[in-house]
Amino acid sequence: MSSERGPRIEAGQILNPSCFPPPNELVCIQVPKVFDQVALRDCITRTVVLKKGGDVCHPSFTFEGATDFTIVEVKVISKTDSLTKPGYKKLKLFVKIRYTIHYSDGSEQLEQVDEAAFNLTVNEIYCPNCISQSGSAKTCDNFWDDGRKKKKREAEGSIIKVEALAEAFNDMLNQATGMLTIDIGVFFIVKCECVVQLLIPSYGYCPVPPEQNVTHSQNCKTFVDRKKTPFPTRFFPEQKWNPLDQKREYSED
């Protein structure tokens, strides 16, 4: 982007939106649109027997915490249409969360993986059936969104996404036997999405970031020379012109 048009435009939060220039273009993008979302919480108690290390005869266990909470499974057990509100549904979900327990047996630091299963009920969520269907060369019913999100694609094209923030607390441990009891509390957000095309204002493609300074090997001297081979500023194809904008220019002439 040219510096003459105002502030530098890049991703991130902005404090003064009014200082930015009007968008450059209208862009049609295909994205999962969130039609509705519901927040809920649940907590279960887990009992886990910690395993001692190989060379310890008389362990003295110490619980040090639980980390790496990750959603590993989402199942839509049932989806019931509302009798009075079109598009609304009642959902019953099964969500499994995996996490790592950190502890000591008195001799060495150890880790143990455990899983907690939750049965969630969403009393009401707007989740219309997606009208259009899309296909690609490779498809799968379950797929990751990130480390703490997972989606389940339904037959009618809608996507049920579950996000979670989890924590372990109220731990009780028998130091001699390694019997650990902990509560796993989770805040959930359940979303209903459909992949749709949206027309949005845009400032164009994101600018190429500045190239960082690194120490290169002696190979490819021409390529690593920034003067001979400058870093490209375009990573994407040219945008097509908006025909409405072209008509406006002709009418002004």
In whole angstroms, how far apart are CA 78 and each of 32, 145, 163, 223? Answer: 22, 22, 19, 58
Element spanning 107, H or E: none
Question: pLDDT tens string for the chain (253 positions)?
Answer: 444 455 677 778 888 888 888 888 889 999 999 999 999 999 999 999 999 887 778 889 999 999 999 999 999 999 999 999 999 999 999 999 999 999 999 889 999 999 999 999 999 999 998 876 665 554 333 333 444 455 555 545 789 999 999 999 999 999 999 999 999 999 999 999 999 999 999 988 888 888 888 776 778 888 888 888 888 888 888 878 777 665 555 555 5
* pLDDT at res. 144: 37
* pLDDT at res. 142: 37
* pLDDT at res. 3: 41
DSSP state of 119: E
Inter-residue contact 155 to 130 (CB < 8 Å)? no
* pLDDT at res. 156: 57
Residues 6+ apart with CB under 8 A from 245: none
Q: How many domains are contained in the chain?
A: 1
Q: Is the residue at 97 inside a domain? A: yes
Inter-residue contact 158 to 196 (CB < 8 Å)? no
* pLDDT at res. 135: 58
Q: Is the residue at 188 inside a domain? A: yes
Give the domain range for residue 178: 30-200
Please count the helices (runs of H) and the strands (runs of E) in the chain.
2, 8
* pLDDT at res. 203: 87
Structure tokens at 215: 């120490």
Q: Is the residue at 223 inside a domain? A: no
* pLDDT at res. 189: 97
* pLDDT at res. 20: 83
- Cα separation, 159 vs 34, in Å, equals 9
* pLDDT at res. 204: 86
Q: Is the residue at 169 inside a domain? A: yes
* pLDDT at res. 4: 47
Q: Is the residue at 60 inside a domain? A: yes
DSSP state of 245: H
* pLDDT at res. 164: 96
- Cα separation, 52 vs 178, in Å, equals 8
* pLDDT at res. 54: 79
* pLDDT at res. 94: 97
Inter-residue contact 130 to 158 (CB < 8 Å)? yes
